[in-house]
Structure 1
């Protein structure tokens, strides 16, 4: 009586023990078959002298778990150094392929590097993906990103936020390059990343091209644009959307002021400037702004002079319903999206090509739009009819 027969006899009256015994025997049998397959493929037994200098050899194994009627078994799938061996004992991992590829794309979008993804997938599922294979799977998103850039846009947005962030990109050398981003909120309160584009630096010419492209794809009317102080931005907006109004981001203005005053004065100036967007109406805000001029003009004449020059663009948000003012005096909403991109891009250190960066940001943009599809931005649902009345 061999060992298997003895063990079977002992387990005969306990179903759990029988299943455990059969599971272990099946696991050993499958692993033996896989090792035999590799031996037949290579043409020599493990450690045999005949295998020396043949140009290929064993290269460890990756682990894979397989469900059977007796429970889960752990399989060691052997590998050859040249990567040419393909086992036939087990069926391909089709039951997980779609899931794994979706996971790879999701991990890539989170900023995990291709090598880290390959290691993680192998440890979790036993499926071996090389970093190159992971990269190729992520490239499946390229046609979707191209379609995203070319899709027809809604004909009107109540407000559109414009801002640029910088991400490291390698061309010949690597440097941080500008990613131009436009996020809009429709009159019904639904928001989306309208589009983005990549360029070596931020300038009004690139913004103009992006605005014209948005208009050519169907975005005919915008009531309000919000942006920082890029030189020439207001002129570019007037050329493309002459009926739109412009609100300069008050947070950017405050940062600029703080950069030009003494450290000891910054906290006081910042607290006083914040009062400008916390007033009940435009008239009260004007009084606060002018009081700010009077108090600080002597100490910081050049700062106040610059502030007076842009005053027409500082309080435009007061012309709209109070329910949405908290959302339209700054570009904070788009900056939160920028911060997500930066955080997820940080593990990558740099992107090897413009296309890889484009794909990465495209995944973020489409994910954002999917997440907020049909959600109404705070305050907009209460004044939807009023916001619709601003359009023809």
Structure 2
């Protein structure tokens, strides 16, 4: 009997809550309707100075601030319970905040002993978070502080100084440091290491590499492990530092490392992960070949080299390469030497399944990432220091695939290859995960 009464009571409470919610929603709609009618009567625009959205934002912010002060004091406005409480309302002060719909002037309530610390719009806060996110998004696309300032002034009528914009974007540095030191997976089937060259003004403008380590996870997802700035003269010591950092973040095994002839990297890999296969990126090797050949011969050289990297075995690849050298060695000996010097890191993938070959030969894995980074870097031109360049690259990476649609395509592309990795590397992919 008691249980039935409790159930009936709970049902009535739910019904009362639903009725109250409907009444609240109806009240909100009525308020919005009045504001819309008023805006129409006054000929107001939706956005812009004193626009409808600005008025709504003002109303919401001031109501929220009033509610916060009520919670702080412990009694409602004009409530006699506040008399003799030791603290009370003390008028308000006017403040302009920058919002997504433009600058909005609000009245911030105060208390007599100045102990009220609002959360919705903090003391000395002049921008709501949406504006910060907008600035960071524009910076991730490569806009300079001056261009962002001009954009906000033109589109939103908001005056934001270059220094303020720089201060906003500097907030990402803390997040970048945390991201660069986050724990990583215990095993990755493949890690691509590539360089993006940026111009840094350090006394004089010079090209400097920023290295990107992009991994494919055991589930087929993309994971950018980190960013490292170099000076162009990196060797085994530099790469040992980078790989040890990655290992210390939890990576016990990497099945295959794909890189572009980076000096000292194979030796460092041998020391950190002795079982890892070092593979030269075939596409980069082809591009490097073209640097030593006349433009009119590029297609012919590419056609002649194709049988080399598509050969079924290393022995067959050697035969095809000998044929290439016989035809083109006299005209372009530097191309032949390039392939001979890279041969030890070129041939490993020839012994693997066709699915592994396909993903190693394809540049889709990292080129889509590099393309976004290059757009942001190119738009900036050059950077005052290394930190500014790293910040720009990091923001470009964080803005990758905002809709998430690319994630599904990426994973589908890697399904067959991951099965081939599991078989070819005899269970190392799953053994380290257990």
Shorter-chain TM band: 0.7 to 0.9
1:137 aligned residue (141, 148, 168): 168
Cα displacement (A) at 1:273: 0.9
For residues 16 and 223 of structure 1, what CA distance do their matches in structure 2 show?
63
Residue in structure 2 matched with residue 23 of structure 1 by the alignment:
42
Residue in structure 2 matched with residue 55 of structure 1 by the alignment:
none
1:256 aligned residue (288, 302, 305): 288
For residues 206 and 144 of structure 1, what CA distance do their matches in structure 2 show?
24
Residue in structure 1 matched with residue 90 of structure 2 by the alignment:
none
Q: Is the 8 A contact 2:187 2:251 kept in 1?
A: yes
Deviations 1:126-146 (A, max 9, x none): 332111111111112111101
1:64 corresponds to 2:32: no
Q: Is the 8 A contact 2:292 2:334 kept in 1?
A: no
For the aligned residue pairs, the C-alpha RMSD in angstroms reads 3.6
Cα displacement (A) at 1:315: 2.8
Residue in structure 2 matched with residue 175 of structure 1 by the alignment:
206
Helix, strand or coil at the partner of 2:196: strand
Cα displacement (A) at 1:170: 2.5
For residues 309 and 130 of structure 1, what CA distance do their matches in structure 2 show?
53
For residues 69 and 128 of structure 1, what CA distance do their matches in structure 2 show?
16
Cα displacement (A) at 1:196: 0.9
Residue in structure 1 matched with residue 177 of structure 2 by the alignment:
146
For residues 215 and 369 of structure 1, what CA distance do their matches in structure 2 show?
27
For residues 303 and 183 of structure 1, what CA distance do their matches in structure 2 show?
28
1:345 corresponds to 2:372: no
Residue in structure 1 matched with residue 153 of structure 2 by the alignment:
122
**Would the alpha carbon gap of residues 152 and 134 (structure 1) be closer, same or farther in structure 2, given more than 3 Å must change?**
same
Greater length-normalized contact order (CA 8 Å, ≥ 6 residues apart) = 1
Q: What is the TM-score with the length of structure 1 in the denominator?
A: 0.72
**Would the alpha carbon gap of residues 156 and 117 (structure 1) be closer, same or farther in structure 2, given more than 3 Å must change?**
same
Residue in structure 2 matched with residue 97 of structure 1 by the alignment:
128
Deviations 1:129-168 (A, max 9, x none): 1111111111121111010111111111111111112111
1:360 aligned residue (382, 392, 395): 392
Q: Is the 8 A contact 1:228 1:248 kept in 2?
A: yes
5+ residue gaps, structure 2 = 1-33, 59-93, 98-103, 108-119
**Would the alpha carbon gap of residues 19 and 292 (structure 1) be closer, same or farther in structure 2, given more than 3 Å must change?**
same
1:195 aligned residue (215, 220, 226): 226
Cα displacement (A) at 1:347: 2.4
Residue in structure 2 matched with residue 380 of structure 1 by the alignment:
414
**Would the alpha carbon gap of residues 368 and 321 (structure 1) be closer, same or farther in structure 2, given more than 3 Å must change?**
farther
Helix, strand or coil at the partner of 1:158: strand
1:276 corresponds to 2:308: yes
For residues 299 and 128 of structure 1, what CA distance do their matches in structure 2 show?
61
Q: Is the 8 A contact 1:341 1:364 kept in 2?
A: yes
Q: Is the 8 A contact 1:164 1:202 kept in 2?
A: no
Deviations 1:326-365 (A, max 9, x none): 2203656334422321211222222223222222222223
For residues 113 and 219 of structure 1, what CA distance do their matches in structure 2 show?
36
Deviations 1:283-342 (A, max 9, x none): 654543343234334554554355334323223223333224222036563344223212
**Would the alpha carbon gap of residues 348 and 295 (structure 1) be closer, same or farther in structure 2, given more than 3 Å must change?**
closer
For residues 54 and 197 of structure 2, what CA distance do their matches in structure 1 show?
54
Helix, strand or coil at the partner of 1:316: helix
2:140 aligned residue (94, 109, 113): 109
